[in-house]
Amino acid sequence: MKITKRILAIILALAMTVGGLTIASVADWDGGYLIEPEEVRYYAGAYKYPEDEPEEESVPYYSEYIAEGEGEAAEGIAPALIGIVPFSTPVDWDTSTPPTLVGSEYTVILSGAPSNVLQIPAGATVTITSTGTVTTFWPNILSINIPANSTVIWTADIFSNEIHGNSLVDIHGDGTFNMVGGSIESGGAVGRAISSHDSLTINISGNARVVSNTNDGIAINGLNLSVNISGGEIRAEDIAIIGGGNVTMSGGTVQARFPLRTFGADITVTGGTVISPYNYGVALSSGGGNVTVSGGTIRSYGEPSHGLFSYGGNITVDGGSISVTGQGNSTAIAIEPQTFLSNVGSITVSGGTIQIHGANSTALRSFEGDIVVDGGLVSATGQGSTAIRADSIACSVSIVGSGTVFGIGNSLSDIIDSSAAPTIGGNGVVIWWTGTGSPFAVNTSTNLHTNPASATAHWAAPNLVLYTNGANSGNFAVPGVTVTAQRQPSPPSQQPQPPQQPSGTITGGSDNDDRGRGGSGVSRVLSTLIPTPQEIWLTPQMAASLTQTAAADGANFTRSRHDGRYGVRAAAWLNLAGRRFDHDATANRAVQVRVSILNPAQMTEDMLVSAWVAGNDVSRVRGIFERWFSNDVRVVHFDHSGPWGQNVWVAARVDLTGMDVGNLHFYSYDRETHSFRWISEPNHRIDSNGFLHFRVDVGGAIVISDGQLMRR
């Protein structure tokens, strides 16, 4: 009974204090055993512990349900917050020890929103979870005080449709709020989901959801709030996130009229998706702060609509995709001066794609600051639209480096509207189409013009422009254009037999979209480009050739294949933009793993894209997990390690013999830190050819387990 009394004492330590509910310290408990949230069972009745538990003190036992009115109730516990307090000690593992999975020190089971404040102890880590969706009504909101050195891990689900201008979760303190799952959803007039009153840091990841479903509603609000988004969903009718602290985004989805909005702070996007679907919306806006986009997808399609805006700050784009489809006075990127502080800001595009599709709109617009395009693609494809507009004689416009600008018009001045003549130098190029003459024959330049004149541009199927100016080469799609493929047969010496194809078809993102092609012209090109199984890097010229061949064959993807390590150079990604890119890692000419990248334009670095289901790295990781865990596991190893910057689809020839395919669990393993994380939404399936399909956002090793990992 010794352990029963100890654990019961811990539970009873959850007692009411003046001004709120305090979670007591459990540092004197030496159980040292992590209780995962799904293993703790709580119900609405009283609680007891088993009578016949063993004497071994290192293993805690869990409560079992007693019907209402039976047994002895646990007194001293607040009616809305019931919890158990497991204790764990962080350990630095080496390769001879099990991989680490970090847990929390406290767990609180949420069953309703109390009127008092939940006080988080100094230096504590507290997990707040629930056994279902907790529904509450004003004035019963959830108030939490998180000190500067404390952390809350949120996995609970809470909902209210009666907030009436207040916040469902109201947070004080300068601590950290990690929302790794669950949901916080508010309704009612001008409802807010989360509010912060101090210098709180909020981290959103996994499948977490923060939603405000009301007119003028705000999902996350705070004067000095900092937010980091790596997954999940944040959605509101009006503003998703607003605050005076920095916002960073590397994954997940944010959607609202104003998805990300700061005052005097910076916004940085390296991945994920930002959507502004409402009229007069602005996807990213900062008053006096800088906006940087190096990855991810940003879309705005209201009437009118705007992509990125800064009032007195600098906007830098060196990767990712920004697309705006609004009509009339819409902008993809715009800056205005903050005159009372003498800040005019600037626009710099070094990579990525910026596109404005609506009529009478502008891709890049500055009212006073300079505009520099030294990489990437800036495109305006709507009638009457301008690629670049400088509203002041003080603005300078430069197209240099490997910058590319495209528009529709009859002269350079229709594409770049500037009082001073733009500077076009280096390998920079401006391309324009007169807007007439479609359909075009492949490899013709009808109604296409370039500056400088030494640059070349021609049409390619199905609606592409392929261009070259020195080392700057690439392609982009032009809506409303049709290019007729009229390929001449190549000499026999350039037509070796294609490599043997695997039976059936595997796709990363959709089913059988290339059925029957058998690799088509892409395979023919690659059979000449890849003669031996060595490390190969796809160059911009090779990528352009692959894309042109695939487009001429009518394929909506570009595909490479190799039986060794294979990578794509940073400058080559732009030549793969606008279509899915697949890489097949092969053994004996049969596909082992296909890696599919849906948005190549978001990739801005040299990246290895090969992956394997056999080999030394696969065997080593599998050996580690099967040594320390009792599960049967399989491993897919990527030559790339670290984040991909987007979800990547994988189709792998994994031998699942003897495994319960209905109970597969996916984990990402980091060899450098010897740690692993659960992948909550792999969206996996097995196709008719036995390939296992799933999606990931990191490289390294993916461990596939028969059931949830269980220690030996």
Burial state string for 667-679 with b = 16 or more CB within 10 A and e = fewer than 16: bbbbbeebebbeb
Give the pLDDT confidence score for residue 191 in this predicted structure. 75
Amino acid of residue 600: P
Spatial contact of 635 and 622, defined as CB atoms under 8 Å apart:
yes
Contacts of 84 (CB under 8 A, 6+ apart): 7, 10, 11, 35, 40, 42, 62, 63, 107, 109
Query: What is the per-residue burial (b if ≥16 Cβ within 10 Å, else e) of 105-122?
Result: bbbbbbbbbbeebbbbbe
**pLDDT value for 289:** 85
Other C-beta atoms closer than 10 Å to the C-beta of 656 total 15
Q: Is 430 within 8 Å of 423 (Cβ atoms)? A: no
Element (H, E) at 147: none
CB atoms within 10 A of CB 178: 22
311 sits in which H/E element: strand 305-311
Strand pairing report for 440-441 and 226-236: unpaired
Tokens of 156: 């609970």
Separation CA 499–CA 319 (nearest Å): 34
pTM of the model: 0.59
Q: Are 417 and 388 in contact (CB under 8 A)?
A: yes
CA distance 119 to 98: 34
Q: Which amino acid is at 337?
A: P
Identify the helix (H) or strand (E) that includes residue 623. helix 616-628
* Averaged pLDDT in 10-residue chunks for the chain of 712 residues: 34 30 31 28 26 28 28 30 31 47 62 71 84 77 89 90 75 94 80 91 94 86 92 91 92 91 90 85 81 92 85 91 85 80 82 91 91 96 92 91 96 92 95 94 94 94 91 90 64 34 31 34 32 71 86 86 91 89 88 92 90 90 89 94 90 91 88 82 86 92 89 78
Domain ranges of the chain: 2-79, 279-484, 487-712
Asked if residue 679 lies in contact with residue 696, where contact means CB atoms within 8 angstroms, the answer is yes
Cis check for the bond before 50: say yes or no (omega within 30 of 0). no
Instruction: For the beta carbon of residue 363, count every other beta carbon within 10 angstroms.
Output: 33
Look at residues 558, 596, 556, 549 and name the one whose alpha carbon lies nearest to residue 576: 558
pLDDT at 534: 66
By the 8 A CB rule, do 428 and 469 touch?
yes
Is the Cβ–Cβ distance between 322 and 290 less than 8 Å?
no
Instruction: Give the phi and the psi of residue 101 in degrees, each rounded to 5.
Output: -130, 105
| Neighbour order of strands in the sheet with 643-652 | 557-562, 580-587, 590-597, 643-652, 692-698, 685-686
**Distance between CA atoms of residues 643 and 647, nearest Å:** 9
* Cα–Cα dist 348/372, whole Å: 5
The single-letter DSSP state of residue 711 is B
Per-residue pLDDT at 690: 86
* Backbone dihedral region for residue 589 (phi beyond 0: left; psi -120 to 50: alpha; all else: beta): left
Tell me the C-alpha distance between 661 and 638, whole Å: 22
Q: What span, in angstroms and rounded, lies between the C-alpha atoms of 557 and 578?
A: 9
pLDDT at residue 385, as a whole number: 92
Give pLDDT, residue 604: 86
Contacts of 384 (CB under 8 A, 6+ apart): 359, 360
Contact 380, 356 (CB under 8 A): yes
Phi, psi of 524 (to 5 degrees): -65, -40
Phi-psi region of 690 (alpha: psi -120 to 50; beta: other; left: phi over 0): left
- CB distance 299 to 323 below 8 Å: yes
